[in-house]
Every structure is written in structure tokens, then in C-alpha cells.
Structure 1
Amino acid sequence: MVEDVICEVLKISPDVVNDDLCYMSISEWSSLNHINLMLAIEENFDIKIDNELVLTLTSAKAIKKFIYNKGNVNKKCTTKNSSKCNFNHNLKVHRGLHDIFCDLTKITKIDGEKGYFLYRGISIDSLVRNSNFEESAFLMLKGYLPSRKELESFEKELRSLRTLPNEVIDFIKQCKELHPVDALRTIISFLVVFDLSKTDKNPLIILKKGMGIIARTPVIIAYHHRLQNDEMLIAPDETLTHAENFYYMLTGNKADKVISGFLDKDLIIHMDHGAAASTFASRVTIGAGADIYAALTSAIGTLSGESHGGATEKAMTMFEKIRTPENGIKYINDCINNGIPIPGFGNRKYKVPKDPRVKYYEEMVKYLTNGKNKPTTVLIIESIQEIMRSRMEHGLTVNVDFYAGAFYELLGIKKELSVPMFFMGRIVGIVAHIIEQLQDNVLIRPSLKYIGDEDICYTSIESRCS
């Protein structure tokens, strides 16, 4: 019976398999296990499930109808809003707020069906191929591409904002032993000490504050890294671009045009991704009337999670554990058999085999390894993709975290810096979202459907069981 297949794949008891059971309504029905379930149904019932059906077979009820009616899915019972679940037939619960529009935006458009997205109406492909960090940041923050004079003025202002007060440098020294992302979160929060107008919500003032934090973030990351490694601090160089200056302060070496260009691409790729968890967290915080430092601290804290930006570091840790391509087969199959999420796979937004951002990292990794023996990490990545191919074809997208780690490794950047590197790009989009939120602010306050006990009598402590 189809119920048995659902129970076996999701590793749940039969009494859980009712008409209210749907994708994301329980932790066991994760994105990986959804694909595993589709593959199991194909195998057990000798049928083919294409990508469109994967998007509709998102509840036990829909799956049973599909099997018992020989492929006739009742479209009224399921929609592409795959996480909509009806617990009491009167209220729809959207776990994780998946596919819920909480506001309007002019910043980023993502088309998950076709696998592309736009910054301010311009395709990311055009920006990655032709632009640089500064120009794309101007576009993101101000809504249009700058003239040459505007860009030069913007670049000059960013470079002038890099210097940190001595008190901040002393504080970074106190954070020396922290993980880089924890240090970054703490230090950015500390910057509020030097802001005498922290409560001013004027969009122009917020933009100025945001630009200051954007300019100083690479400096904070580089200083902390060098202190952790007992290396002399390197002062910012105002003759260098944003990406060049970061690389110089981090490594002590001047980046050539190829490396600086690749770093620009990395920053542009990470610059925004709609209402991602970290961006949403910043909008919730600023929407509640907090200051920009609180909003950015919320964002970094959220970004550090292993289901968000922390996935890059987790993927790199996975590669270290696997150690050889041959070991990858057993490691990945063990994860699949036990329903354990695999770092670098899965993105709610995309229904294509690969996150559209992956191709840029593939190109950069290929260039950096051209004419050389491929590093072990790259060989492991290729072997894992081969193992996961059938699941990728069924919608378990290989995402940007999977390849970004290999790119950083080839540049000599440690895995612990992967989330700070992510934030270096994403902070631009987050500042843009903060400004947009404040332009027509509303408190973001969703509801929770209560499903606990009711009308329980209070008993005195003496009468309670020990």
C-alpha cells in the first residue's frame, strides 16, 4: 500500500499518515525525503513522476489519489504552494512561510521555475559577466545603474569609510578567540556605540550608516582573521577596490585582476536573494523600530545557521570528513538511507537541477584548476553530484553552498570565513531591504496556530505527582 511506502521512507508510524500529512508539516518530510519518497513511489508502483508531478504530490492525500486513480491527480487537493497544510479544515498553516508574500519589493525577482533572478530588473548574469562590486552595490542601494561620475563618487565614499576607531580594533582583539562569524556579529553590534544618531530613521541617514558598515565589514573580517593567526594587522589601502582591499588586508598580497574579478563575482552573486531568512530577519527587526545595527546583528545571527549561510562551512566540513571521492559514495548513501540532509543540496526557490548561481562558481573553479591536478575537494564534489544526479533531476537542487566552499579553498580562504564572506556580499542587499522596509513600514507579526491542550485545571504543587 502507498501508506506503507510513505511510512518506510519518512520513518514514521502508520497513525501519522492521514489526509492532513503534507510536505514540511513534519520534520521527517524534508526536501531530501520528499525526493526520496518520489523515487520510492516510482520504484514500488512502476510509474514515472516528472518534475511537474513532484510539485503536486505534496500531501499523503494527493499521493494516494494519484496511485489509486492511476495517475489522475486531483488538482483541487494540492497546489504548487507545497507547504500549505490544513490541520483542522478551517485554517491553513504555511510552515516556514513558504511561498507566502509578506510585502512588495522592487529589489530582487526570483523565478524558481526557470532558474533565474534579477537585481533591480537586471539579470544577475549580466551583472556577474560585466559589472563589479561597487557598480552592483550602487544599483542595489539606489535602484539604478550609476553614471561614471556617480560611480566614482560612490567608490570614493566607500573607500573613505573603511577606517575603524581604535576602540573597535581593541574590541576585535578581545574577540580574538571567537569563531569569525560570532566575532563579526558581536563587533557590528558594538559599532552602535559610536553612532550618536542611531534612532534616526531618515532613509538617507540609514543609507549613509549602511554604507559605513558595508565598507567596514571586510576590514573587521580581515583584522579578526589576522589576529587569530597572530599576524600583523594591515591598514586599509584607499587605492584598492572593495574586493582588492579585502584580499590585501586578509592575505598581505595584492590580488591580480583575475582574483579581484572573481571576488567581485562572488560578492555580486551573494548580494541578495529575496526574502531569505537573514534578510527577512533584518526586516522583522527594523520593522519593529530597532536600529540598523540590531537589524544587521539579527541578519548575521540568522545567516550563520547551518540551513542558511552556514551550509557552505558545513559542506566544506563534509568534504573533509569524506576525504576521498570513493568515500563519498558510502557517506552520501548513508545520509540518504537515514534521511539526513546533505549540505549543498536543496533550495526552496528553485525547481531546476542547479541553483543558477552555481554555474559561475563552476566556471571559476574550472579556471583556477585549469592545467593542474584537481584538488581532492573538486573530485569529491564531482563524485557527489554523480551520486545525487537522479535526485537533482527530481528537483533536489544543488545550491550555491556546494561550490562556493571549493572556490574559497582554491583562493586559500579558510572554511571558517565562508559565512563572513557570504555576509560581505549579502549586507548590500540587506541594507537595501532595510531602507525599503522603512519607506512604508509595517510591523511583521505572523500568527501561530495553537494545537496544544486546553482547559487544563491548575493544581497546587503539593497535589502534583513528583
Structure 2
Amino acid sequence: MDTSICSIDGMEGILRYRGIEVEQLEQMPYDAVSYLLIYGKIPAPQELEAYSRKLREERYINREILNVLKVCNYGTEALDSLRTAVCCSAHMDEEKDDSSMEANMNKSIRLVAKFPTLVAAVHRYKTGKFLIAPDEKLSHGANFLYMLRGTVPSAIEAEAIEKDFILSAEHELNPSTFSLRITASTMADIYSAVITGLCTLKGPLHGGARKGVMDMLDEVASHENAEQYVLDKFSRKEKVMGFGHRVYKTCDPRAKLFKDIAKKLADDHGDTQWYDLAERLEQVMYREFMQNKGRPIYPNVDFYSAVVYKYLEIPPELATSVFAAGRVSGWVSHYFEQYSHNRVIRPRANYI
């Protein structure tokens, strides 16, 4: 499948959005990267200002959707509630029956803008707290943490969540994006396609892996326990969450960037517990793979992003939904690309 949105060099560990390496994009605001993915170019200052203004205006969600969220089953993973909220948003979108390019672009902006608000609302309802309205003065990431936690984040925390959204935004034909493109190829609407992506993202072998790493960090608890934890996993031939990747044969470039972010947060908070634990797990895993399998293994995107979430006070059950809040820009980009030269995706099976 041809695409101009993203490219991955798995041998060299290079990830590019629209031909630009992710290390460069990490220095931009999320709004600019979102614009790049959707429109295919770096925005000029006036274009970015107009796009950011639209996103900030569309952050709000109506009372009917909030009422639906109130009755969701909060004993389940938060992504279930987010999926329900997106379904309801489709019903209430004033352009739901308009499939023109202009209407679809408006719907894509609403989705990007509202995902953080919906995720924060799910968490606030689940924990019995009052909802916090969006603050249009704050950036995309900072506003999310504000709605989630009830306090304006520090500059380093705001930078961390912006970078998290950027590094989560796009990754070529990963399972959720591919499933979304299959839905789009049937000429289904943009909400249906995004809901498909959400359903696929939930799996523990995809977006749900981030929650798995967070649970593992809680289980190990201290860097002193890391070596024995890995050795026990090896003896039972069990997987250690957050390591290895189907595409990258070297270190995932996003993992390197997330490690840097995690270190900044650890130093800023004056608490290196989670960073030290993760680094020790990384060291032991590398050593054991070299000794037992004759090859190294590296952390993937979920490993140090889970450490970042620990420092940002994002609970494990919310991890996949926060991932989705960043990924939605990539999803809608692929929706538009599929529509632009569509042919229904219908692979054949090999009968045995």
C-alpha cells in the first residue's frame, strides 16, 4: 500500500512523518504536527494560528455526551468509555450525513480537539470528581493535563505530554491504522473508521501494551527487584512487556526520545524511582538476550512512555486512551489518504 504520510526504516531506526524525522518534529507543538499529518505540509504561522484556534474552539463536549459517560461501566478499561463517547459524538455531529471534503475536514478537527476532553471526562467521572472545562489559553497537551488533574501543569510536564502526543501520532500501517483504512475503503464515514481504530488499539499486543508496562512497573516496584523479575520471566519463558518490535531491528527512535523525557521528569520531580527501575530493566534485558540468544533487544515505544505516564500521574487504565488522543491525528490523515484514491481492501485467504 502506497502512502505519503509516514515511513519507517526498521534497520536504521528512523521514523519520518511526511518525510521529516520525528526528532525534528518533537521540537514543534502538537498542533503543528497534527496539521502536517492532515494537510501534508508544515503550517505557515497564520495557518497554524487559525488551525489552533479551531482546535481550541472545538474542545468542548455537549451535555448529552457527558450524560452517556455517566452511565458507562467504569470497572472496565477506559477505552471502552471513550469508544462509547465517540459513537455518541457521531450521532450528534451536525454534519454527520455530509460526506463532502469540507465536512469531513471539520469532523476530523472535532475529533482531534475533543479526544483529550473525552479522556479527561472519563477519568474524572470514574474517580468521582467534578469535570473541568477546557482552558483555551493552554496548549493541546497542557489543557489535557489540566482537565485531567485539576491543576495547570508545570512547563516540563506540559512539554512532556505534548511530545507524547507527537510521538504517538503516527506509525505507518500499524494494526489500528490498517484496520481504520479497511473501514475507510468501504466508504464508511470518518467516525466509523476512527471507532475501528479505537477497537484495534485496545489489544494488549498493540496500544494496550502501554498499560501492561505500567502494571509491570507497579509489580516490580524498585530497581533492586528488576534483575530477579527478568530472570524469573526468562525461566518461565514469559514476555517482558515493552521490549522488541515487529518493524525495528534496532532501537525504536521513539523509545530514545521517551527515555529523555522520562529523565527530565524524574529530575524535575526529584524522584528517580520509576526511571531507575526502567533503566535497570533495560540493562538486564539487554544482557540476558545477548547471553541467551546472541542478539540484543531494545525497548519499544511503550516502555519509557509508561514511565512518563507514571510521572504525569496518568493511571494505567487510562494509558491506551491517552495514546489514542495522540494517534487520532494520524488516523484521520490515513482516512483522507484512503479516500483520495480508494479501492476496497479485500485480501484473499489461502484455504488449507
TM-aligned CA distance change 1:388 to 1:182, over 3 Å: same
Q: SS at 1:422's partner residue?
A: helix
Matched, 1:439 2:336: no
Amino acid at match of 1:293: Y
Aligned to 1:407: 308
In structure 2, runs of 5+ residues without a counterpart are none
- Once the two structures are superposed, residues 248-295 of structure 1 have per-residue CA deviations (whole angstroms, 9 ceiling, x without a partner) of 111111123222122111111111000011111110111122221111
Q: SS at 1:357's partner residue?
A: helix
Q: Share of identical aligned residues, percent? A: 33
Q: RCO higher in 1 or 2 (8 Å CA, sep ≥ 6)?
A: 2
Aligned to 2:37: 140
Report the number of matched residues: 347
Give how far 1:164 is off: 1.0
Aligned to 1:361: 258
Matched, 1:424 2:322: no
- Once the two structures are superposed, residues 71-90 of structure 1 have per-residue CA deviations (whole angstroms, 9 ceiling, x without a partner) of xxxxxxxxxxxxxxxxxxxx
Aligned to 1:163: 60
Amino acid at match of 1:408: Y
Matched, 1:110 2:8: yes
Aligned to 1:7: none
Distance 1:136 1:332 in 2: 37
Aligned to 2:283: 386
Q: SS at 2:325's partner residue?
A: helix
Aligned to 2:213: 315
Amino acid at match of 2:295: H
Give how far 1:442 is off: 1.2
Give matches, 1:63-462, under 5 Å.
103-128=1-26, 130-175=27-72, 177=74, 178-352=76-250, 354-370=251-267, 374-390=271-287, 391=289, 394=295, 396-451=297-352
CA contact (8 A) 1:203 1:438 kept: no
CA contact (8 A) 2:220 2:229 kept: yes
Q: What TM-score, normalized by structure 1, do the two folds share? A: 0.71
Amino acid at match of 2:125: L
Distance 1:294 1:163 in 2: 21
- Once the two structures are superposed, residues 329-355 of structure 1 have per-residue CA deviations (whole angstroms, 9 ceiling, x without a partner) of 233223223332221011111111x21
* Stretch of structure 1 that moved more, 419-428 or 282-291: 282-291
In structure 1, runs of 5+ residues without a counterpart are 1-102, 452-466
Give how far 1:176 is off: 5.5
TM-aligned CA distance change 1:450 to 1:339, over 3 Å: farther
CA contact (8 A) 2:262 2:305 kept: no
CA contact (8 A) 1:347 1:396 kept: no
Distance 1:371 1:173 in 2: 36
Give how far 1:372 is off: 6.6
Amino acid at match of 1:131: M
Amino acid at match of 2:132: I
TM-aligned CA distance change 1:426 to 1:376, over 3 Å: same
Question: Relative to total residues, which structure has the larger helix share, 1 or 2?
Answer: 2
Distance 2:188 2:126 in 1: 32
TM-aligned CA distance change 1:185 to 1:121, over 3 Å: same
CA contact (8 A) 1:176 1:227 kept: no
Amino acid at match of 1:419: T
Over aligned residue pairs, what C-alpha RMSD do you find? 1.8
